[in-house]
Amino acid sequence: MRPAAGFFDRAPFILFWETTRACDLECKHCRANAEVDRDPDELTTDEGKALLDEAKAMGCPVVVLTGGDPAKRPDLVELVAHGKEIGLHMALTPSATPLVTPALLEELAEAGLARLAISLDSAIPGGHDGFRGVAGSWTRTFEILKDAKRLGLTTQVNTSVTPFNQHELETIAEQIAALEIELWGVFFIVPTGRAADSELLDANDVEAIMHRLASIAETAPFDIKTTAAPHYRRVLLERQVERKEIVGIADEIGRAPRSVNDGQGICFVARNGDIYPSGFLPVHCGNVREEGLTATYRDHPFFKELRDTEALEGKCGACSFRRVCGGSRARAYAVHGRAMAEEPACAYVPRGYESAAGAG
Ligand code: SF4
């Protein structure tokens, strides 16, 4: 499922729909500032189905039902079944709570759920439970993953990497390899919602972690993707050039498809229908009940700016990797207050940039 050039101007590759903000966990870094109760202004079942229909009609292939905890919605299975029926690849990110019973997983599998993603933030129970704010969450994570595998579901583990758990990545990788998961999503925190500045990694730490992930990926039985860190693609390309697996960076960039980024392949719909370029970039651009998803994604000036590589500032603007990377626009916005500013968590310095920057 590789998008063609120009695809991201017409449709997101992945639509994240925050089906609810309700959640029984109290995660320290929660983007959604989740609460216990559901918001009465959430999209209804019919509105949710209409959103899925619109996503399909505009060409979006993948929808991730997220939250909060989507398992808090009683119509969850119905929504997954509808998405599957109209040809969407439906994924789900429930919270690791007792709500995700084997019976619910079985219903989801029958409804055609394509992927179940669940969070694991530490190799040890205390570390994970402290991060998620509820005792027993680590154990539930493993139980849910095992139940999902037993039912034949494709599984993904998501890990938020912070200064506190970064040393555990290799151990976590070993644990999830034993669970036979398909994908490890490593999220580099953006300071939005409850995420505190103390959870942020500096650019050099991020660089070192990305190289460790690339090393893990060489032998791991699962794929690795990063979230809010498109410069992982730059790291992979540089390593390939170093090993002479590709001729040169310029050749590779000419052929490589763009990575998804905020507003460029990614779109986020909040529980009440509000539309954002991603869940980590809090610039409100429209609502599915009013302007609609298609018009907002394709035509809102902020979405268009985010897709304009030439509008990138600082070293991202000067970087030969900007078309395959572009840096996290959400982190640039959170740290610099400007979405097109340079990515603060990237250690790469484009050739010749130092002197130009120094002159400026
Ligand atoms: S400078 Fe910007 S575009 Fe270049 S690799 Fe770093 S984040 Fe990506």
Task: Give the tens place of pLDDT for each residue, 12-70.
Answer: 999 999 999 988 766 666 655 667 778 889 999 999 999 999 999 999 999 999 988 99
Residue 234 Cα: closest atom of ligand 1: 5
> Phi and psi dihedrals of 321, rounded to 5?
-95, 5
Which region holds residue 52: left if phi is over 0, alpha if psi is between -120 and 50, else beta?
Answer: alpha
- Between the CA of 316 and the centroid of ligand 1 the distance, in Å, is 5
Q: What is the structure's pLDDT at 57?
A: 98
pTM: 0.91
Res 142 pLDDT > 80: yes
Q: Does the residue 276 lie in any domain? A: yes
User: Confidence band (pLDDT; 50, 70, 90) for 359?
Assistant: very low
CA distances from 262 to 195, 302, 333 (A): 18, 11, 11
Residue 283 lies in a domain: yes
CB 156 within 8 A of CB 183: yes
- Hey, which of 253, 325, 335, 349 would you mutate to test ligand 1's pocket, going by the most ligand atoms within 8 Å of its Cβ? 325
DSSP-derived secondary structure letter, 66: E
Residue 100: which pLDDT band, with cuts at 50, 70 and 90?
A: very high
pLDDT classification of 357: cutoffs 50, 70, 90: low
Asked if residue 316 has its Cβ within 6 Å of ligand 1, the reply is: yes
Q: Take atom 2 of ligand 1 and give the residue whose Cα is closest.
A: 316
47 vs 21, 60, 272, 287, 294, CA distance in Å? 16, 17, 10, 12, 15
Instruction: Say how far apart CA 209 and CA 4 lie, in whole Å.
Output: 30
- Give the per-residue pLDDT at 192: 80
* 344 found inside a domain: no
Query: Has residue 355 been placed in a domain?
Result: no
Q: Is residue 301 part of a domain?
A: yes
Q: Which atom of ligand 1 is nearest to the CA of 349?
A: 1
Instruction: Report whether residue 123 contacts ligand 1, using a CB cutoff of 6 Å.
Output: no
What is the residue range of 124's domain?
7-310
Indicate if the pLDDT at residue 208 is higher than 80. Answer: yes
Q: How is residue 124 written in tokens?
A: 């040890």
In the predicted model, is pLDDT for residue 344 greater than 50?
yes
Which helix (H) or strand (E) segment holds residue 108: the answer is helix 102-111
Q: Is residue 23 part of a domain?
A: yes
- Ligand 1 atom closest to the CA of 322, numbered from 1: 3
CATH of the domain at 16: 3.20.20.70
In the predicted structure, residue 257 carries a pLDDT above the cut 80: no
pLDDT over 90, % of the chain: 73
> Average of pLDDT values for 135-153?
92
How many domains does the chain contain in total? 1
pLDDT digits (tens, 9 = 90+) for 17-29: 999 998 876 666 6
Q: Is 55 within the bounds of a domain?
A: yes
Predicted confidence at residue 31, as pLDDT, reads 59
- Whether the CB-CB separation of 63 and 51 falls below 8 Å is answered with no
315 ligand 1 Cβ < 6 A: yes
Q: Are strands 265-269 and 274-276 parallel, antiparallel or unpaired?
A: antiparallel
The verdict on residue 191 lying in a domain is: yes
Closest-CA residue, ligand 1 atom 1, reads 316
**Amino acid making up residue 114:** A
Is the distance from the beta carbon of residue 346 to the nearest atom of ligand 1 less than 6 Å?
yes
Of 55-64, 116-125, 197-206, 218-227, the least confident: 197-206
Q: What is the mean pLDDT of residues 156-171?
A: 94
